[in-house]
Amino acid sequence: MILHSVLGDTNFSRSRQLKIVISKGEVQLAGNRKLKIYGALNCSSGKRMKSENRVFFKSEEEARDMGYRPCGHCMRQDYLEWKAIIKNQAASPALGIPD
């Protein structure tokens, strides 16, 4: 995970450095550090977040391993699958919920 704030001291330097890491393939997804949501780099919801909350990931696996969930806007199908898994876990007998 790369914090947006560590890419540079100014908006311009962060923008230039981000372009470099994207072109190298080191970044494929963006996320919101406070909300624990990740999505596509071009997601309109993600573009509206504060830069101090923005983080970047190399893969979905990295984002999920860090406890982030898919964006319901730009990654709708992944979000619905994630939501179904969470719902099934909540209703699981393994959690002590009687049949």
CATH code where residue 6 lies: 3.40.10.10
> What phi, psi does 38 have (nearest 5°)?
-125, 155
The pTM assigned to this predicted structure is: 0.83
Across the chain, what does the average pLDDT equal? 91
Residue 27 token pair: 């970044």
Residue 97 lies in a domain: no
% pLDDT > 90, the chain: 76
**Encoded amino acid at 28, one letter:** Q
Q: With respect to residue 98, please indicate whether it lies within any of the assigned structural domains.
A: no
Tell me the pLDDT tens digit for each residue of 41-67: 999 988 889 989 999 999 999 999 999
* CA distance readout (Å), 34 to 3, 54, 58: 12, 9, 19
Rounded Cα distance between 41 and 21, Å, is 12
| Count of domains observed in the chain | 1
Mean pLDDT over residues 79-86, rounded?
Answer: 94
Domain containing 25 equals: 2-92
